[in-house]
Structure 1
Amino acid sequence: MTLTDLDAAELLSGLAEREITAREAMRACLDRIAAVNPGINAVVALRDEATLMAEAEAADRAGPRGPLHGLPIAIKDSANARGIVSAFGSPILKDFRPAQDDLYVARIRAAGAIIIGKTNTPEFGLGSHTRNPVYGATGNPYDPGRSAGGSSGGAAAALATRMQWLSDGSDMMGSLRNPAGWCNVYGFRPSYGLVPGEEEKELFMSPVVTSGPMARSPGDLALLLDVMAGAAPGVPFSHSGQRYSGHLQADVRGRRIGWLGNWGGAWPMEEGVLDTCEAALATFEDLGCEVVALDPPFPAADLWQAWLDLRAFAVSAGLGPLYDNPDQRPRLRAEVIWEVERGRALEAVAIQRASAIRSAWFRKTTALFREVNALVMPTAQVWPFPLDWNHPVEIAGQHLDTYHRWMECVIPASIAGLPAIGVPAGFGAAGLPMGLQLVGPYRGDLGVLQLAQAWHDATGWPARRPPADPPRETA
């Protein structure tokens, strides 16, 4: 076993006790990236090796200064990391080096981590397929000719291939959950506000995106969540939860799991997706949970329309300045232009209607969670698709009318700001991974993580290494 095979908790314990040096961890990380990344393209904007080794040696001389002391970590390319190219997958920003970190990135840095570069993402994080004109596409570790998902696809692929011990990500429309499911790892979208956004951005109108951790185990998720989470005085809706690390082991017997499947047939599913997920549900029963099949609790069409409008409204506000610049607009991908133009065409009554539907769904979830402890559904409606596709255009013969309709199953958690974790559900007939979403009540993050921990202890799916994983020496 090499250092890159260790869980993050094991590595960080060794670093804290000085049984492992930051220099050794950095050397192992960079060697692993050199061996694996050319075939996957998950880590981008990698910093100079000599500089990184010098920073690791400085960390060894200084000694532990935080819970992530000495940990090499690459930050998702849709976040600002001070002094590191933060392109957001866009040719417009391919040379942009921010002068300061985003809030959660600053927290990671202050906790002692060494930021080595970025993980790949779609342009501006739109669409769950990590491909952009700056860095190219990220391949799935279990079949490099297929998508790793997104928008945190680079992060998930880097974890699965042991190039990273921990990864950060963000999630508007499943961007932590879908790539986790497709790469056989874990991705956690926390309750809205637990990981605060940026003070400088618009803060009130349409909160739909949040950042969160990714890892190969729920315990490692909790380690990074403890660093990323916590109230920020200048960010409304931000709140402090609790410490999660060390609190995930729990007796889950008797917890009720509400299976939503394909939402009563509203979501088309590629062959094998539901079969794989339904077979995985037996694990909950083995754990002593009660699995109940639920009827659709809310009109799918209403949720979808509200989501389309709220997402376009948010994207048009954020990316509108680039659209308005005549030199930059031609360099924007078609999906960005579609979202901006759609958002700007919305009338006030449509935005109000979308918010009313969102409110009604949130009220409905509070009632649902009096009956069940978690809602469960697939992380995607299709298997990982070919790398050269823009996006799926049909599922089971049903035409898809937008570039992201194939991931409609993620919006019930997103639109209500609920905690949702993508967990591995196993592999289909072609050997490709699929995941399940475990969704809990607002601010019920601990309960969701505890279910995931019990799931992990019972299944251990991330131990099934990608078939193309290069061999390594054993100690």
Structure 2
Amino acid sequence: MELLNWDASELSEALAARKISAVELMQATLARIEAVNGRVNAVVSLRDSDALLAEAEAADAAPRKGWLHGIPMAIKDLADAEGLPTSQGSPLFGAAPATRDHPAVARLRAAGAIVIGKTNTPEFGLGSHTFNPVHGATCNPYDLGRSAGGSSGGAAAALAARMVAVADGSDMMGSLRNPAGWNNVYGMRPSWGTVPSGNEGDLFLHQLSTLGPMARSPRDLAALLDVMTGYDPREPLTRATPDATPLIDAALAPQRIGWLSDWGGAFPCAPGIIDHSEAALKRLAHLGHAVTPLAAPFDAEAMWESWITLRSFAVAASLGAIYDDPARREGLKPAAQWEVARGQGFSASDIQRASSIRSDWFRAADALFEDVDVLVLPSAQVWPFAVEQVHPTEIDGQPLDTYHRWMQVVVPASLIGLPVVNIPAGFDARGLPLGLQLIGRRGRDARLLQLAQGWHEATGYPQAQPPRL
């Protein structure tokens, strides 16, 4: 078990120096999954242990491919990994194995990762609570009766429970941030366009979702980001980016941090969320950074209407063919049917209006970054809720009008493709974790990671307070 508490970068160094073997690491990983996954349900479609041990033995005998050489990884069950099924949490897909890797998965394998299985996700990744009719619900390792968040809930729970040391994920509406916050780990939504999306479907219109890394330290986030990111000539909106890893320990000047709290009351928050967030901000200030409360910089309802229009438009593009087939439509959960129906009902002027609002917010945010370096918001508006609950319907007595309004706090960054790092921000009296979103200017991913690394060195929450399983 001690081996599994190490960060991925520590494992990589030990493997390179032959202080440990890939076989030892794989044996420990499989034993841990056997011991705790039955209660957490984070890893799904686990490969045969003999095959995995043989692959680890081959890794020990082979030249190192990259920093992930010999390190077990489980891929989020929205991305293809050759030889494994991609259920997307839906019974509409069979158990046939994928015949190729998603480009990001191919990059992970090329860096030496051993793919052991998949991590659980909500159906089609919709909703920040990981449950589906194929694999069931993922439980929070800090309280098995509560949600692990989503849609990268399986990845975050597997990290927290020490079943993997590093994980991939994806983020449209907080899917790398909400589960990271609820599982006391780090999750990063990179600047939009830095990680290739997969070369499928429309390549221009739907700029909302991105892949990204999860880890128990910002150093590992940076190293995994460097593997996943980079220009892909098959995708017109990707771009080359400098490596973040060499910069992670570079001196960082005191940052001007703007605290957006509950966006002037527009984002209802459960009791304790704001107080605990502000306590974490005081600690950031003690590290030498200047924290300033900010008034709401943009109309929250206009931003929300822009978001749910463009989101439904994107979901309709990806799931419309299933929805249009009467024999398959009922296989979609109600939230998915609602999204597609909305998305198919918009006019061209509706989409243009939503995009114009998005453009206005981008300009306003760009002006805001002239006065601050980093914006901060909570990673979620509620604490982890009961795992049996589909989604919150109210917050502190205020009714919610959609299945995802409780995650409105992630929209400001998602709508305009800004980089965000979730940092663990402590626990409430019940031992439930929460997180903070550190939001940067587009392209300032490395600076956010530097700030997060300084926080990590001062707090070490994932290492200091692991779950007790």
In which range does the TM-score fall when normalised by the shorter chain? over 0.9
Give 2:415's aligned amino acid.
I
SS in structure 1 of the partner of residue 84 of structure 2: coil
Q: CA deviation at 1:246?
A: 3.2
Matched, 1:34 2:68: no
Match of 2:360 in 1: 360
Match of 2:382 in 1: 382
- Greater shift, 407-416 or 236-245, is seen at 236-245
Q: Deviations over 1:41-86 (max 9, x none)?
A: 0000000111111111111122312221111100000111111011
Map residues 18-417 of structure 1 onto 2, 5 A cutoff: 18-417=18-417
SS in structure 2 of the partner of residue 281 of structure 1: helix
SS in structure 2 of the partner of residue 269 of structure 1: coil
Match of 1:3 in 2: 3
Q: CA deviation at 1:327?
A: 2.1
Question: What is the rounded CA distance, in whole Å, between the counterparts of 2:150 and 2:466 in structure 1?
Answer: 18
Q: CA deviation at 1:331?
A: 1.1
Give 2:37's aligned amino acid.
N
- Asked whether the equivalents of residues 44 and 118 of structure 1 are also in contact (C-alpha less than 8 Å), the reply is yes
SS in structure 1 of the partner of residue 96 of structure 2: coil
Question: What is the rounded CA distance, in whole Å, between the counterparts of 2:237 and 2:70 in structure 1?
Answer: 32
SS in structure 1 of the partner of residue 453 of structure 2: helix
Give 1:444's aligned amino acid.
R
- Asked whether the equivalents of residues 169 and 214 of structure 1 are also in contact (C-alpha less than 8 Å), the reply is yes
- Greater shift, 200-209 or 92-101, is seen at 92-101
How many residues in Structure 1 have an aligned counterpart in Structure 2?
Answer: 469
SS in structure 2 of the partner of residue 92 of structure 1: coil
RMSD: 1.0
Give 1:410's aligned amino acid.
V
Q: CA deviation at 1:253?
A: 4.4
Give 2:123's aligned amino acid.
E
- Asked whether the equivalents of residues 94 and 134 of structure 1 are also in contact (C-alpha less than 8 Å), the reply is no
Give 1:377's aligned amino acid.
L
Q: TM-score, normalised by structure 2?
A: 0.98
- Asked whether the equivalents of residues 161 and 467 of structure 2 are also in contact (C-alpha less than 8 Å), the reply is no
Question: What is the rounded CA distance, in whole Å, between the counterparts of 1:20 and 1:240 in structure 2?
Answer: 34
Question: What is the rounded CA distance, in whole Å, between the counterparts of 1:454 and 1:248 in structure 2?
Answer: 9
Q: Deviations over 1:234-268 (max 9, x none)?
A: 11120121111131124444310000000000010
- Asked whether the equivalents of residues 44 and 119 of structure 1 are also in contact (C-alpha less than 8 Å), the reply is yes
- Asked whether the equivalents of residues 378 and 436 of structure 2 are also in contact (C-alpha less than 8 Å), the reply is yes
Match of 1:472 in 2: none
- Asked whether the equivalents of residues 250 and 454 of structure 1 are also in contact (C-alpha less than 8 Å), the reply is no
- Asked whether the equivalents of residues 156 and 183 of structure 2 are also in contact (C-alpha less than 8 Å), the reply is yes
Match of 1:422 in 2: 422
- Asked whether the equivalents of residues 5 and 463 of structure 2 are also in contact (C-alpha less than 8 Å), the reply is no
Give 1:254's aligned amino acid.
P
Q: CA deviation at 1:463?
A: 1.7
- Greater shift, 181-190 or 427-436, is seen at 427-436
SS in structure 1 of the partner of residue 326 of structure 2: coil
Q: CA deviation at 1:347?
A: 1.1
- Asked whether the equivalents of residues 181 and 435 of structure 1 are also in contact (C-alpha less than 8 Å), the reply is yes
SS in structure 1 of the partner of residue 264 of structure 2: coil
Question: What is the rounded CA distance, in whole Å, between the counterparts of 1:252 and 1:52 in structure 2?
Answer: 41
Query: Kindly tell me: are residues 160 and 233 of structure 1, through their superposed partners in 2, closer, same or farther at Cα, counting changes over 3 Å?
Result: same
Question: What is the rounded CA distance, in whole Å, between the counterparts of 1:432 and 1:463 in structure 2?
Answer: 16
Question: What is the rounded CA distance, in whole Å, between the counterparts of 2:215 and 2:403 in structure 1?
Answer: 27
Q: CA deviation at 1:467?
A: 4.4
Give 1:52's aligned amino acid.
L
- Asked whether the equivalents of residues 188 and 212 of structure 1 are also in contact (C-alpha less than 8 Å), the reply is yes
SS in structure 2 of the partner of residue 93 of structure 1: coil
Question: What is the rounded CA distance, in whole Å, between the counterparts of 2:468 and 2:42 in structure 1?
Answer: 15
SS in structure 2 of the partner of residue 312 of structure 1: helix
- Asked whether the equivalents of residues 219 and 246 of structure 1 are also in contact (C-alpha less than 8 Å), the reply is no
Q: Quick one: percent identity of the two aligned structures?
A: 57
- Greater shift, 246-255 or 268-277, is seen at 246-255
Give 1:367's aligned amino acid.
A
Q: CA deviation at 1:96?
A: 3.5
Question: What is the rounded CA distance, in whole Å, between the counterparts of 1:105 and 1:360 in structure 2?
Answer: 35
Give 2:423's aligned amino acid.
V
Q: 5+ unaligned residues in a row in structure 1: which ranges?
A: 470-475
- Asked whether the equivalents of residues 427 and 434 of structure 1 are also in contact (C-alpha less than 8 Å), the reply is yes
Q: TM-score, normalised by structure 1?
A: 0.97
Q: Deviations over 1:320-379 (max 9, x none)?
A: 111122221111100110000000011111100000011111111111111001000000
- Asked whether the equivalents of residues 252 and 287 of structure 1 are also in contact (C-alpha less than 8 Å), the reply is no
Q: CA deviation at 1:182?
A: 0.3
Give 2:85's aligned amino acid.
V
- Asked whether the equivalents of residues 160 and 467 of structure 2 are also in contact (C-alpha less than 8 Å), the reply is no
SS in structure 1 of the partner of residue 457 of structure 2: helix
- Greater shift, 338-347 or 253-262, is seen at 253-262
- Asked whether the equivalents of residues 230 and 239 of structure 2 are also in contact (C-alpha less than 8 Å), the reply is yes
Give 2:73's aligned amino acid.
I
- Asked whether the equivalents of residues 252 and 289 of structure 1 are also in contact (C-alpha less than 8 Å), the reply is no
- Asked whether the equivalents of residues 160 and 465 of structure 1 are also in contact (C-alpha less than 8 Å), the reply is no
Q: CA deviation at 1:468?
A: 2.7
Question: What is the rounded CA distance, in whole Å, between the counterparts of 1:393 and 1:117 in structure 2?
Answer: 34
Matched, 1:456 2:456: yes
Q: CA deviation at 1:466?
A: 4.1
Give 1:211's aligned amino acid.
L
Match of 2:436 in 1: 436
Give 1:201's aligned amino acid.
G
- Greater shift, 198-207 or 155-164, is seen at 198-207
